[in-house]
Amino acid sequence: MSKSLSWDDLDCPVQPWIRTAIEVMGFDQMTPVQASTIPLFAKNKDVVVESVTGSGKTVSFVIPILEKVIAENANTKNFKKAHFHTLIVSPTRELSKQIKSVIDQFLEHYPEDQYPIRAQLLVGTNESTVRDDVNDLIENRPQILVGTPGRILDFLQMPVVKTTSCSMVILDEADRLLDVSFVKDVERILSVLPKQRRTGLFSATISSAGNTIFKTGLRNPVKITVNSKNHAPSSLKLNYIVVDPELKFQQLLSIVNNYRYKKCIVYFPTCISVTYFYSFIQFLQSKGIINENLSIFSLHGKLQTVSRMKTLEKFTETLDNSVLLTTDVAARGIDIPDVDLVIQLDPPTDSDIFLHRCGRTGRANRIGKAITFLNKGREEDYVPFMQVKNVELEEIKDLTIKGLPKPEEFYNMFKNWILADRSRFDHGVKSFVAFIRYYSNHSASSIFRLQTLDYVSICKMYGLFRLPRMPEITKYLKKDDDPENSVIFKDGWLVDPPVDLDSFAYADKKQEKKRLDELKHLKDIHDKKKLKFELKKKNMAWSNKTETKETKAERRLKMSIKRKAIEDQLAKEDNGDSEDDEVKQDWKEVVMQNKRQKTSSSGIQGSFDDL
Ligand SMILES: Nc1ncnc2c1ncn2[C@@H]1O[C@H](COP(=O)(O)OP(=O)(O)OP(=O)(O)O)[C@@H](O)[C@H]1O
């Protein structure tokens, strides 16, 4: 391991044009991870590298790759068509693009008179197909491919693509690539590559991948660990704030509005919550409540690739006072040097992601601050939980909410914004529901428990005025002993009187017409059902009446008349067996008639029901 961090003391030769590139990029010295990794990886060793966020891992594999491409004559005309030399796999399109741009930055200094070295991006977009990628491979003959697992797999499965010359593979953010969502694709990719190759795994949290790293076909790997005591770079300050969940969004706005920063990234729990809060923040900006000089962007995984890339570019290019609202899609690897503030509205469901999110700031020895919000109550336990993982968090106390309307007024404003368009309500409900599902997936499930979540406050934080019905929460909602003082009214309403949902309209005319048509249709069905029910009730009463008045009273009357007649007859005539028999027969008939009436009465009801 090299002790000096001077590029001159690097334990392996480096091409002069690479040295020029390093100088132009302003890298006066190597970072520790570069000093340890470059010589080993360039000298045919497989490496497993764990080093804190922003410590320069990308350059530590890019230099050995470029050196190897040259050493193995892949930069000559003899390098076969449709072959490639190096494959770099990364979990997101943004990160793949970023890695390619680092390679391109080096290649800007590659001598023009030599056979070109090229890199090609392999990520899914709506604008190009895998066939386009194959055409580019044949036409441009790149030696280095960078992309995401799904697209790479599709690409490698094209018969024309030849894998036999691949002699280097990099898995960047390797622990992510080896988790359940990617591992199958990654295994299939590796299975079609030559076994005789160099493999490098890189991440700030590679230890969490455990033994799965051996699924990558590593051969006698060297493990390189460059970690600080706090598992985060020393230039990064990790803070937390304990908040009342109802005021959390206001606290966020207060920081974003009043804090001094160049660039800030805010992590939201779900894609839908990014779009929901982004549109409300835009409204607040239009009203002058949020500083209109702030450039606010939204980025999440449900957006199209091209729009994601453009947003990231704009956020990177905007000089000052810019805020990116995003999800974990931008948690790993993204390198935007001027980000000096990261805020997490909720801790991530996976504690490793915590370091990756925070690590978007405090990179390459620049000062950065990461603030995590914890809902008061149980979530404070997250601090000792992270301490056990060697991540020390420091509390920011007594942070007041500044420059916003009073909480009650703010909630009413949020509510009125929602009431102006029913689609906002739908959006808010979906965001809330997605949050509950997110919360129930926390790996630290003993801290983040649905049982102890303050649903009402969170619902209000989302600006909502009725608790959405969902099985996850119904069982935890306390049955209030004192309904007089309950904050939840009948049917989950948080406002009294409730909002008239029938007249709560969509701003979009087409959508509103559709809703009204559906409402009318439902009403018609309801009316028909009601009519049917009334009829049934009426018929029931009628047949009951028939039953009682016709059968019971009449029968009783007839019976008594008959009985009297028989008794009279018996009293008068005691001398004729035949008549006695006749009377007995008559009596039997009466009994039989009564029986028939009894059984046929139910038949009458049935026939009326069918009307
Ligand atoms: N030797 C160096 N001197 C100064 N800055 C450097 C050096 N090497 C890389 N950098 C810069 O450090 C920043 C972080 O580098 P990089 O993105 O490779 O970090 P990383 O370790 O991969 O982080 P993460 O784990 O977050 O992906 C980049 O802006 C890069 O330009």
Summarised one tens digit per residue, pLDDT across range 5-50 is 999 999 888 999 999 999 999 999 999 999 999 999 998 899 999 9
Strand partners, 241: 373
Looking at the domain 236-404, which fold is it?
A: Rossmann fold (3.40.50)
Whether the predicted pLDDT of 572 surpasses 80: no
Please give the ipTM for the structure prediction. 0.99
Q: Name residues contacting ligand 1 (CB within 6 A).
A: 27, 29-31, 34, 51, 53-59, 204, 333, 335, 337, 359, 363-364
When pLDDT is averaged across residues 244-259 and rounded to a whole number, the result is 96
- Answer yes or no: are the C-beta atoms of 515 and 423 closer than 8 Å: no
- Answer yes or no: are the C-beta atoms of 241 and 374 closer than 8 Å: yes
Give the nearest ligand 1 atom to 102 CA. Answer: 31
Give tens-digit pLDDT for 309-352.
999 999 999 988 999 999 999 999 999 989 999 999 999 999 99
The better pLDDT of the pair 220, 341 is held by: 341
Q: Ligand 1 centroid vs 440 CA: distance in angstroms? A: 35
Lowest mean pLDDT among 170-179, 196-205, 573-582: 573-582
Tokens 């800007």 belong to 108
Homologous superfamily of the 7-225 domain (CATH)? P-loop containing nucleotide triphosphate hydrolases (3.40.50.300)
Q: Which residues contact 603 (CB under 8 A, 6 or more apart)?
A: none
Q: Ligand 1 centroid vs 179 CA: distance in angstroms? A: 24
Give CA–CA dist 162/158, Å, rounded. 9
Give CA–CA dist 197/200, Å, rounded. 10
Give tens-digit pLDDT for 155-186.
999 999 999 999 999 999 999 999 999 999 99
Give CA–CA dist 283/276, Å, rounded. 11
Give tens-digit pLDDT for 457-468.
999 999 999 998
Q: Ligand 1 centroid vs 18 CA: distance in angstroms? A: 16
Q: Whose C-alpha lies nearest to ligand 1, atom 20? A: 54
Q: Whose C-alpha lies nearest to ligand 1, atom 23? A: 54
Give the nearest ligand 1 atom to 204 CA. Answer: 25
- Answer yes or no: are the C-beta atoms of 147 and 90 closer than 8 Å: yes
Q: What local confidence, expressed as pLDDT, does residue 277 receive?
A: 98
Angle between helices 271-286 and 407-419 (to 10 degrees): 100
Give CA–CA dist 46/221, Å, rounded. 5
Best residue among 105, 335, 360 to mutate for probing ligand 1's pocket (most ligand atoms within 8 Å of CB) is 335
Residue 231: pLDDT band (50, 70, 90) is confident
- Answer yes or no: are the C-beta atoms of 144 and 166 closer than 8 Å: no
Q: 81: helix, coil or strand? A: coil
Residue 255: pLDDT band (50, 70, 90) is very high
Q: Ligand 1 centroid vs 24 CA: distance in angstroms? A: 15
Lowest mean pLDDT among 15-24, 150-159, 549-558, 567-576: 567-576
Rg of the chain over Cα atoms, rounded to whole angstroms, equals 38
- Answer yes or no: are the C-beta atoms of 252 and 373 closer than 8 Å: yes
For 29-57, the DSSP string reads S--HHHHHHHHHHHTT--EEEEE-TTS-H
Q: What local confidence, expressed as pLDDT, does residue 486 receive?
A: 66
Give the nearest ligand 1 atom to 360 CA. Answer: 26
Structure tokens at 77: 């005309």
Best residue among 205, 363, 367 to mutate for probing ligand 1's pocket (most ligand atoms within 8 Å of CB) is 363
When pLDDT is averaged across residues 137-141 and rounded to a whole number, the result is 95
Whether the predicted pLDDT of 603 surpasses 80: no
Angle CA 54–444–255, to nearest 5: 55
CA distances from residue 84 to 230, 453, 477 in whole angstroms, order as listed? 40, 52, 59
- Answer yes or no: are the C-beta atoms of 59 and 116 closer than 8 Å: no
DSSP state of 549: I
- Answer yes or no: are the C-beta atoms of 148 and 93 closer than 8 Å: yes
Give CA–CA dist 27/4, Å, rounded. 14
Give CA–CA dist 291/157, Å, rounded. 51
Q: Which residues contact 258 (CB under 8 A, 6 or more apart)?
A: 402, 403
Give the nearest ligand 1 atom to 33 CA. Answer: 21
Q: Ligand 1 centroid vs 364 CA: distance in angstroms? A: 6
Whether the predicted pLDDT of 525 surpasses 60: yes
Give the nearest ligand 1 atom to 27 CA. Answer: 3
Q: Ligand 1 centroid vs 141 CA: distance in angstroms? A: 28
Residue environment code for 506-526, b if the CB has 16+ CB neighbours within 10 A, otherwise e: beeeeeeeebeeeeeeeeeee
What integer best gives the mean pLDDT of the chain?
A: 88
Q: What local confidence, expressed as pLDDT, does residue 529 receive?
A: 80
As a residue count, the chain comes to 611
Q: Strand pairing of 368-375 and 222-226?
A: unpaired
Q: What local confidence, expressed as pLDDT, does residue 578 receive?
A: 40
Whether the predicted pLDDT of 575 surpasses 50: no
Q: Whose C-alpha lies nearest to ligand 1, atom 16? A: 56
Q: Ligand 1 centroid vs 222 CA: distance in angstroms? A: 21
Q: What local confidence, expressed as pLDDT, does residue 228 receive?
A: 72
Tokens 């001094």 belong to 260
Residue 448: pLDDT band (50, 70, 90) is very high
Q: What local confidence, expressed as pLDDT, does residue 427 receive?
A: 97
Q: Ligand 1 centroid vs 130 CA: distance in angstroms? A: 31
Best residue among 14, 57, 99 to mutate for probing ligand 1's pocket (most ligand atoms within 8 Å of CB) is 57
Best residue among 2, 6, 59 to mutate for probing ligand 1's pocket (most ligand atoms within 8 Å of CB) is 59
Distance of CA 318 to the CA centre of its chain: 27
Structure tokens at 445: 């499930």
Residue environment code for 575-586, b if the CB has 16+ CB neighbours within 10 A, otherwise e: eeeeeeeebeee
Comparing C-alpha atoms, which of 474, 485, 249, 209 is closest to residue 350? 209
Q: Ligand 1 centroid vs 322 CA: distance in angstroms? A: 22
Best residue among 4, 30, 31, 312 to mutate for probing ligand 1's pocket (most ligand atoms within 8 Å of CB) is 31
Q: Ligand 1 centroid vs 171 CA: distance in angstroms? A: 16
Handedness of CA 218, 219, 220, 226 (dihedral sign): negative
Side by side, which strands form the sheet with 222-226?
119-122, 144-147, 86-89, 168-172, 198-203, 47-51, 222-226
Q: Whose C-alpha lies nearest to ligand 1, atom 25? A: 53
Give the nearest ligand 1 atom to 95 CA. Answer: 27
Q: What local confidence, expressed as pLDDT, does residue 579 receive?
A: 40
Give tens-digit pLDDT for 61-80.
999 999 999 999 889 988 89
- Answer yes or no: are the C-beta atoms of 329 and 92 closer than 8 Å: yes
Lowest mean pLDDT among 83-87, 210-214, 222-226, 514-518: 210-214
Give CA–CA dist 459/10, Å, rounded. 57
CA distances from residue 566 to 365, 442, 560, 563, 592 in whole angstroms, order as listed? 118, 87, 10, 5, 16
Q: What local confidence, expressed as pLDDT, does residue 599 receive?
A: 45
Q: What local confidence, expressed as pLDDT, does residue 523 receive?
A: 85
Q: What local confidence, expressed as pLDDT, does residue 484 receive?
A: 58
Q: Ligand 1 centroid vs 245 CA: distance in angstroms? A: 36
Residue 379: pLDDT band (50, 70, 90) is very high
Q: 199: helix, coil or strand? A: strand
Q: What local confidence, expressed as pLDDT, does residue 452 receive?
A: 87
Give the nearest ligand 1 atom to 333 CA. Answer: 27
Q: Whose C-alpha lies nearest to ligand 1, atom 1? A: 30
Give the nearest ligand 1 atom to 335 CA. Answer: 17
State the span(s) of the chain assigned CATH 3.40.50.300: 7-225, 236-404
Q: What local confidence, expressed as pLDDT, does residue 180 receive?
A: 92
- Answer yes or no: are the C-beta atoms of 121 and 132 closer than 8 Å: no
Q: Ligand 1 centroid vs 226 CA: distance in angstroms? A: 13
Angle CA 327–404–316, to nearest 5: 35
Q: What local confidence, expressed as pLDDT, does residue 539 receive?
A: 65
Q: What local confidence, expressed as pLDDT, does residue 476 receive?
A: 66
Lowest mean pLDDT among 11-20, 55-64, 203-212, 582-591: 582-591
Q: Strand pairing of 236-243 and 222-226?
A: unpaired
Q: Whose C-alpha lies nearest to ligand 1, atom 31? A: 56
User: Taking the chain, what is the end-to-end CA distance rounded to the nearest angstrom?
Assistant: 93
- Answer yes or no: are the C-beta atoms of 203 and 174 closer than 8 Å: yes
Q: Whose C-alpha lies nearest to ligand 1, atom 3? A: 27
Residue 3: pLDDT band (50, 70, 90) is low
Q: Whose C-alpha lies nearest to ligand 1, atom 4? A: 27
Give CA–CA dist 56/22, Å, rounded. 12
Give CA–CA dist 345/255, Å, rounded. 12
Q: Whose C-alpha lies nearest to ligand 1, atom 30? A: 56
